[in-house]
Structure 1
């Protein structure tokens, strides 16, 4: 278990440090908030660009070498961003950090898929997700410490460099039991796998991506709705903090339920809870006792998010070829991440055209639709003992 958790805590620390520092560093270089948002987006773009190549690299070279290469890319990105004399260099650094994050995440997922017995796959991948979230919670504090010690906002990137170097040392020394690939598959076939498995990707993959969509909109809507109903910034921040604690506390329970009662026992209740909580946020601006509607909806979202922490990855592992899982897992990751990437743009469009409550209600309908159609896709594609 430490071999699973410690690397992901360190990995999450680097991600958590990058999220607040990238836009702040861009603003310090350009003086433009818009450019800060653009540079911050490079983190996600870097991840998307490397999802499919990650599957090829893992199949070709094995998990450990790829993890070491990804941590090297992340540390170089952090160092380049720290020393960046211009916006262009800072942008390249952000892309490198995002690329390293994507490749490392895929390598860890592949290793768990082949090294852990299927009977405990759900709780193992849930623990993986929970340990990453713990690291992401700690990451901003490490970045703040580095910023304070250096007196420069770009000093926060040194936290990324430090955690990446430490992570590389842990990966290099950790034992890799019978799941290590060691480059045994000579012909990685990522695009062939994507085309061959397009049916499951376009049906089950896109449907389960609604969970990723709900996670992405949650991070945006909770602070926006808090401000809309008149709560002060301190209160909203405290609510987000409490929700994060609830989220983190439930990841292992969700994994146990996934293993004992199947994937649907976690995914469907999570989608229902996401739908009800988005509807609650929509009503919070229209009904009396708005703050209670807001608080209860935020708590319900946190429960759904923590409860479902590993279910998307677990379904991907269930569907992957155990002899060479990386090509399918990279395709699965790209498909299931589409919702979280499109969600902020869709949310912004709905809010601009209609209103924030209407956007929340539309997302509630999407979650309800996902809960309704998911069982049919799961029954079609997953073995009966894992449904």
Structure 2
């Protein structure tokens, strides 16, 4: 007799994870293109703009392990409230910035807040959701983020128009944090990550990094390329957009519309993740990311450059939406269900390493060679990860999830 599959606990996830993710994604969706455009306006350099924007992901990398400790000791609700306050402070700092250094500081703080918020939310869903529907649940979570990422750039474009300046887009980051804090403070969820370990939480996080180093250095770093593609896409799409002749507001609108395409496929990707395995989602996404980065590399030199740019951007958005939940789903597969926070912090450290380093590599390549060279290098990275992924997945993942 076939056992019925458990249902996704939508009623439980809606106030505790899905709606908060929409609001959080809205702020993050505004922060990436606005930081890039504001940095370019202050410096006049694409390489410098990419470097400043990279601090959004560097902040996430720096707080990956501390976030696991914070969630393990204080629980999801308090940590999410703290992260929301930090993000709002970073957004206000960036809004008021009249120098590239202050803008960089604001970007670093926004990224730090995002890391802590994401870690707390991931821990909660890992514990609250049955394993057979984990892919759909985390993909729905990614879809909620995509909805916010869709709205964020569009709201940022409107704010830039209203304030007559690029920095006005950072007000979206600040304003989104207000209802987010209210919702998280009142949401009816039980704490899942706070296990009362107290001062032992920090050593346990570090011990987990060492004990699970093989899976982190192989499967973790390989899957980090999926996250890396999302980061390089957010940097390279606006830069290539300006290279093909689009103005700043139009580029911001294109980024927002691409985020709408992200949203359209999130649940389909989750269903495939649960039914046919994690590789069935991650591998095609890596291939599409690689091909489309090559499209961005050649777009400014081809006839109908804007159409090549829009086509590459749209296909990357589809791949991004399709694969939205696969990286956190694999992390949840590998985590100890009794105390997931220590491993999930380690997993985020591994999977955020690529997104944190790649923007600096993009900046270096764009400055030393060309924007096209940076796009081509990212495409080569995607191809390498696609070759390595199947073997690492077979080695480390449970057979039913591969």
Written as runs of structure 1 = structure 2, the 5 A alignment for 1:142-181 is: 142-143=155-156, 157-177=170-190, 180-181=192-193
1:5 aligns with 2:5: no
Q: Which one of the candidate residues 199, 203, 207 is aligned to 2:218? A: 203
Gaps spanning 5+ residues in structure 2: where? 1-9
String of CA shifts for 1:332-365, please: whole Å, max 9, x gaps.
1121112122222323444455554444444333
Written as runs of structure 1 = structure 2, the 5 A alignment for 1:334-349 is: 334-349=349-364
Aligned to 1:48: 61
Q: Over aligned residues, Cα RMSD in angstroms?
A: 3.4
1:185/1:324 contact within 8 Å kept: no
CA distance in 1, matches of 2:246, 2:107: 32
After superposing the two structures, state which structure 1 stretch, 68-77 or 315-324, moved more.
Answer: 68-77
String of CA shifts for 1:178-235, please: whole Å, max 9, x gaps.
x62344344211111111111001000111111122222223333444565x554488
Offset at residue 115 of structure 1 (A): 0.7
TM-score by length of 1: 0.84
1:8/1:135 contact within 8 Å kept: yes
Q: Which one of the candidate residues 251, 258, 262 is aligned to 1:247? A: 262
2:150/2:260 contact within 8 Å kept: no
Offset at residue 114 of structure 1 (A): 0.8
Distance 1:162 1:180, change over 3 A: same
After superposing the two structures, state which structure 1 stretch, 373-382 or 46-55, moved more.
Answer: 46-55
Aligned to 1:73: 86
Gaps spanning 5+ residues in structure 1: where? none
Q: Which one of the candidate residues 259, 280, 299 is aligned to 1:265? A: 280
1:64/1:180 contact within 8 Å kept: no
CA distance in 1, matches of 2:40, 2:385: 39
String of CA shifts for 1:143-166, please: whole Å, max 9, x gaps.
555666777876655543332232
Q: Equivalent residue of 2:114, what SS?
A: helix
Offset at residue 292 of structure 1 (A): 5.7
Aligned to 2:121: 108
Offset at residue 175 of structure 1 (A): 1.4
CA distance in 2, matches of 1:174, 1:281: 42
CA distance in 1, matches of 2:151, 2:353: 27
Distance 1:102 1:359, change over 3 A: closer
After superposing the two structures, state which structure 1 stretch, 300-309 or 15-24, moved more.
Answer: 15-24
Offset at residue 284 of structure 1 (A): 4.7
After superposing the two structures, state which structure 1 stretch, 358-367 or 199-208, moved more.
Answer: 358-367
Distance 1:372 1:51, change over 3 A: same
Q: Which one of the candidate residues 378, 382, 389 is aligned to 1:374? A: 389
Distance 1:24 1:308, change over 3 A: closer
After superposing the two structures, state which structure 1 stretch, 354-363 or 108-117, moved more.
Answer: 354-363
Q: Which one of the candidate residues 228, 234, 240 is aligned to 1:219? A: 234
Offset at residue 60 of structure 1 (A): 0.8
Distance 1:253 1:331, change over 3 A: same
TM-score by length of 2: 0.82
Aligned to 2:7: none
1:58/1:183 contact within 8 Å kept: no
1:317 aligns with 2:329: no
